[in-house]
Chains A and B, each alone.
Chain A
Amino acid sequence: MKKNYYLEKLYNSKKPFIIYKVNGGYDLYTDFSEKVFLNNKNIFNFFNKIEKIKNKKIFLSLYIGFFGYEILCNLNNVKIPKQKSLKFPKSIFYKPETKIQIRKGITIKSSHKNYKELFGKKIFNQNSILSPFKINIDINKYKNIFNQFSKKIKEGKTYQIKICTKYKNKSLIDPVNLFWKLMKTNAAPESFMIRDKNFSIVSCSPESLIEKKGNKIKTKPIAGTLKKTYKTNMRKALSFFKNNIKETKEHNMIVDMERNDLSKICKPGSVKLSKIKYVEEYKNLYHYVTKIEGIIQKNIKIKDIIVAMMPGGSVIGCPKISTLNLLNLQEKESRNIFTGSFGFIKFNGDMRFNIIIRSILNYKNISEIAVASGVVVDSTHANEFKENYIKAKSLIDLYK
């Protein structure tokens, strides 16, 4: 972590801020002049408002924030039955006035001249764990759900579906401390954190969902995970994925689905696989990845792009709509941010969004970590249950 007088003061203040991983470092956004809570009623107005902004070049011309899972379902006309819920906001976007670029050095840009004095009260955060992590679905319940979904696959109602499990504890946390601790071990390319007055999110998401610049749009679905050991390397990982029929089939399905989602908004013939089935290396694991891109049609609005692409298919299953309906009938507890998207929309229409996975939401002094893994024809409940735990473990370990 970089020591810097301004940052130290910021971390020790109550001021809300957001950090987003970029190539070669991090961008930190703060001094929010607007905080917009989105719901089914105002979300389209919010998008329209951005599109109508005439002066596209004003300082820090972007909204940064997240869409939760529920609002993304609703945008696709998928309803969610009544669930147990923390009543966490469905979606929040912020307009920053100060941006700090954390690279080898630190650069601060702000529309406030006195940004160095805008800290408010000093606070001391400490992590304290009030109860141990508990899982919301035990292996027997998991097996039950798994068997139900396997039956749906045999009937052709879904081709792949991801069961979500949640680990929760009671804890007071300092998200800054957790985030930098996490970045030391796993600075995944779509990592981010949000610290607001009454909640925080800490994430090491590896998955980019939308990267849009001008009329070009890219997505980079991940399907396939291999744990690193002293025996593995990039070449061995690739041959593992290539020779593993289950991983290959899951990956193929996601690639065709993401091609489809891009095709809803892109010019016919422009959707291309720019890099097919390759391996990306992370601190503790390898991922099987494909890059897909296209050219956006004229007259496509922000709304169309969000609805076409979200929630990101690779973490839901396929086909998306019928699978979402099956999931929502089964899940008794709100997913909150899990499998939603975090990122920004610039006033010129450019965007960057990830898929919110490998994340901790702390709200009302409850930390929750949600994970999901897929039911396909040839998976077994014990393996998938274990995979869920492996995915959650690196985040749970932060509390030690």
Chain B
Amino acid sequence: MIYIIDHKDSFTHNIVHQFSKFDKHVECENFNEINYNKLKKANVIVFSPGPGAPKDYITSSKIYRKFKKKKKIIGICLGFQQILYNENAKIIQQSKIYHGFQSLIKVTSNKSLFEKNKVFKVGRYHSLKLKEPFFAKNFEITMRCKISNVAMTIENQIDQIYGFQFHPESFLTENGNLLIKKILSA
């Protein structure tokens, strides 16, 4: 079962539909209305996009720390930043803001589930970004914006933690389903 934590975003249900392609049982609840019985039964937890910054969502941070290494964790946009924030990263405002923007990103690491140097067209909706350099045990930045070099994905294959700064569920993202499929079956 996949449990999606909704940070009251206007894109979360696109993610629900996307993940439903790969698992018959997908649950989605608001971050302030978590059903812990369901959450415990899930084998994958997804942190949704949402407004604001990771520090605004204390429950989500607690859930991340509690279930890290116990369940597969996937973060999208704010969810991506949520994971990084709890790994002691700094999340900062960027000078150029991407909302509804389609851009090219590239696999920059050979430790990725995806082939190095492969290029994807993706949809982006973010005001904030990861401040670099960033180091955390077992975490690898695996994709970057082709132009600005901003971190676009993180992968931690040992602890099964994955994050996307872009939106795999957006109609602007090509091969979004493939990305999710590969991570769910990893």
- Are A263 and B14 interface neighbours, CB within 8 A? yes
Closest to B28 in A: A264
Q: Tell me the bound Cα distance from A313 to B16 in angstroms.
A: 19
Enumerate A224-276 residues with CB–CB distance to B below 8 Å: 248-253, 255-257, 259-261, 263-264, 268-269, 271, 273, 276
Choose from B21, B51, B171 the contact partner of A256 (Cβ within 8 Å): B171
Question: Residues 120-133 of chain A: 1 if any B CB is under 8 Å from the residue's CB, otherwise 0?
Answer: 00000000000000
Choose from A252, A263, A269 the contact partner of B100 (Cβ within 8 Å): A252
Which interface class (under 10, 10 to 19, 20 to 34, 35 or more) fits A? 35 or more
Q: Does A155 contact B (CB under 8 A)?
A: yes
Contact partners of B20 in chain A: CB under 8 A? 268-269
Q: Does B93 contact A (CB under 8 A)?
A: yes
- Are A322 and B97 interface neighbours, CB within 8 A? no
- Are B171 and A156 interface neighbours, CB within 8 A? no
Contact partners of B126 in chain A: CB under 8 A? 156
Number of residues from B at the complex interface, CB < 8 A: 31
Q: Does A376 contact B (CB under 8 A)?
A: yes
Are A250 and B100 CB-contacts (below 8 A) given A256-B170, A259-B171, A319-B50?
A: yes
Q: Tell me the bound Cα distance from A264 to B28 in angstroms.
A: 10
Question: Residues 125-150 of chain B: 1 if any A CB is under 8 Å from the residue's CB, otherwise 0?
Answer: 11110000000000000000000000
Contact partners of B10 in chain A: CB under 8 A? 256-257, 260-261, 313, 318-321
Are A268 and B100 CB-contacts (below 8 A) given A158-B51, A252-B172, A319-B11?
A: no
Q: Tell me the bound Cα distance from A197 to B123 in angstroms.
A: 50
What is the minimal beta-carbon distance from A249 to any residue of chain B, in angstroms? Answer: 4
Q: Tell me the bound Cα distance from A313 to B167 in angstroms.
A: 19
What is the minimal beta-carbon distance from A357 to any residue of chain B, in angstroms? Answer: 19
- Are A153 and B97 interface neighbours, CB within 8 A? yes
- Are B8 and A319 interface neighbours, CB within 8 A? yes
- Are B171 and A257 interface neighbours, CB within 8 A? no
Q: Tell me the bound Cα distance from A260 to B167 in angstroms.
A: 13
Q: Tell me the bound Cα distance from A263 to B97 in angstroms.
A: 27
Are A321 and B99 CB-contacts (below 8 A) given A154-B127, A268-B20, A269-B20?
A: no
Q: Does A341 contact B (CB under 8 A)?
A: no
- Are A155 and B14 interface neighbours, CB within 8 A? no
Question: Residues 332-347 of chain A: 1 if any B CB is under 8 Å from the residue's CB, otherwise 0?
Answer: 0000000000000000
Q: Does A9 contact B (CB under 8 A)?
A: no
Contact partners of B101 in chain A: CB under 8 A? 249, 252
Q: Does A43 contact B (CB under 8 A)?
A: no
Which residues in B have some Cβ–Cβ distance to A below 8 Å? 8-14, 16-17, 20-21, 50-53, 78, 93, 97, 99-102, 123, 125-128, 167, 170-172
Q: What are 14 A-B interface contacts by the 8 Å CB criterion?
A: A154-B93, A155-B127, A155-B128, A156-B51, A159-B100, A252-B123, A252-B171, A256-B10, A256-B14, A260-B11, A268-B20, A271-B17, A276-B171, A318-B10
